Amino acid sequence: MRTLYHDKPFSQGAENVIKRARQLADVRWTPVKPLPNALRSKGPEKKEYYYGYFSAWHPQTGLPYSSCRTVEKYIGWNVSLETYLSALRNPHSVLYTRELKNSPGTKANTYYGIVCSMYVSYALQLPYRVVCKDWPALPHVHQVDIDPLENLRLCDIMLEPKSHIGIITDIRRDADGKIYDIEVSESTLPLVVSNRFTPEEFQRFWIDDGYSVWRYDLVDEVTYTPDPFVYVDGDPEVAPPKINEDILPDFGNKANYRVGDEPVELCVLTEGWESIEVTDPAGKVTSYPAEEKLVLHPETVGIYAARLRRGDDYSDSVNWCMVNIDLSFEKEKFAFGEDLRIKFSNAAPDTVFYTTLNDDTYYVPWSGCLSEEEIASGTASIPAPTKPGLYYVLVMAKNNYGIYTSKYTSVIVE
């Protein structure tokens, strides 16, 4: 009889990394209508992508894959699990009414989703997504010699900088310490999954396909907070929070909306109500007729609440937050080889901490954290793009509902 032993996390931080990975791989969710998705077929000569749907009322495990970079609505970062799961319950939400398959790039369809680099960045608690090509240049990441294979350890990274990244979340060994199998968790079309590989399968599927193993030196510093919307082994056992069945915003409960280009649609899901009461950040209450959909264009930043009223009877409340980061360039056009200078300010007190440079296909040639001096001055310099063209820049801040962004702001390099 074979006895196998799971590798134990080598620190509390390593255990936290695995728990963070499990949160997004083990979460169970169910669409109430057909939900857009993206699929991939990898043949002997090329990859092909297809766009379809998750079936209504068919439960799924693991977050949906979607390269939603044109809207920057990544689950776990920009969108909480509560926001995602509550949007799933609303048949009028953006998950069912907006598809991304015709947006620039490939592998995008679901309005909220996650990609491989975002998944591993989340598991390792990086400040934000590090795209695959940039991992080897990170200051606290180094390549690992896996000869012998037994050198592998939990939280190691599987990386092919041109295409994909995953993370090792379990290793089983026999009594002599020889590896029996390796679990790799990854965000891959159409879902986040965890698969076990024998040593031969690991070699054939990963290493022979150009992947190498990398290690993050700051694993011990990773923290973990249980989420009541998904249970991970070792979490406190609590009843799942109730999702409002009467009224929901189209982005889901506790979502961020940008002032100006993201109107708020409040959807009334049950009948018999007389009015919708909306409370603004200053506490002012405005009453509207309880129609199926109420579209608002709030201009004041801060948290809003809405509930339904019928006489002295009220529904539970839902919330959202209006955000507004202003971003501009120091001039309309930059010469090729010139750094891009930006100016930014946030109408909320949240710190603007990160910026990304995107080309006209929304590929990310550069991204990074702002320095303390840049944050304080509200100005920053982005390294010169490597070729002329049209570019888009985002800056980001974070509040209790997640990381939110400025509008995509364009600039020409010539």
Write out the E strands in 297-346: 302-310, 313-314, 318-323, 325-329, 333-334, 340-346
| pLDDT computed for residue 105 by the predictor | 72
Cβ atoms of 122 and 24 closer than 8 Å: yes
Question: In terms of residues, how long is the chain?
Answer: 414
- Gap between the Cα atoms of 18 and 24, Å rounded: 10
Q: Please name the amino acid found at residue 391.
A: Y
| pLDDT computed for residue 239 by the predictor | 87
What phi and psi values does residue 22 have, to the nearest 5 degrees? -65, -35
Strand partners, 331: none
| pLDDT computed for residue 326 by the predictor | 98
Average pLDDT, the chain: 96
Cβ neighbours of residue 47 closer than 8 Å, sequence gap 6 or more: 40, 41
**pLDDT digit string, tens, across residues 72-104:** 999 999 999 999 999 999 999 999 999 999 888
| pLDDT computed for residue 2 by the predictor | 82
Average pLDDT over residues 281-291: 97
**pLDDT digit string, tens, across residues 369-383:** 999 999 999 999 999
Sign of the C-alpha dihedral computed for residues 66, 72, 78 and 82 taken in this order = negative
Cβ atoms of 77 and 122 closer than 8 Å: yes
